[in-house]
């Protein structure tokens, strides 16, 4: 029997895989898109569990302020920033520069 978390995590990963290169989204935006507004923390848990899944770009998911709050869950604390910078995203003091311009909203970009 599958746990309900497994299904939710799979749904999160499907959304994260659709985040365009050079863009970022938030834990809350993913939760809202999946109909679980208020479950941003659960999305964060999914992202923590995604490490090792090569096709899930977890580095593109940040908090609602554009901060790299998940960076300590990567193999090295600077890996998240390095991956974002390779995509042309500028980061200063663990914060995405021009976050509003780089924010990708799954609700306005996708339909269930």
Per residue in 7-65, pLDDT tens? 899 999 999 999 999 999 999 999 999 998 889 999 999 999 887 777 999 999 999 99
Residue extents of the structural domains in the chain? 4-103
Q: pTM value?
A: 0.90
CATH for 4-103, options being 3.40.1400.10, 2.40.50.1020, 1.10.150.120, 1.10.10.10: 1.10.10.10
Measured CA to CA in angstroms, residue 30 lies from 36, 97, 106 at distances of 9, 21, 7
Per residue in 76-93, pLDDT tens? 989 999 999 999 999 999
Measured CA to CA in angstroms, residue 2 lies from 6, 7, 45, 96 at distances of 7, 8, 17, 36
Query: How far is Cα of residue 77 from the mean position of the Cα atoms in its chain?
Result: 16
């Amino acid at each position: 029997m599958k746990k309900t978390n497994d299904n939710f995590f799979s749904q999160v990963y499907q959304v994260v895989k659709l985040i365009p290169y050079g863009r970022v989204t938030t834990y809350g935006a993913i939760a809202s898109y999946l109909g679980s507004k208020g479950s941003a923390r659960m999305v964060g848990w999914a992202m923590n569990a995604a490490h090792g899944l090569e096709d899930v770009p977890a580095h593109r998911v940040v908090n609602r302020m554009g901060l790299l709050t998940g960076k300590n869950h990567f193999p090295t604390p600077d890996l998240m920033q390095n991956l974002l910078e390779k995509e042309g995203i500028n980061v200063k003091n663990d914060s995405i520069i021009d976050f509003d311009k780089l924010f990708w909203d799954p609700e306005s970009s996708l339909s269930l």
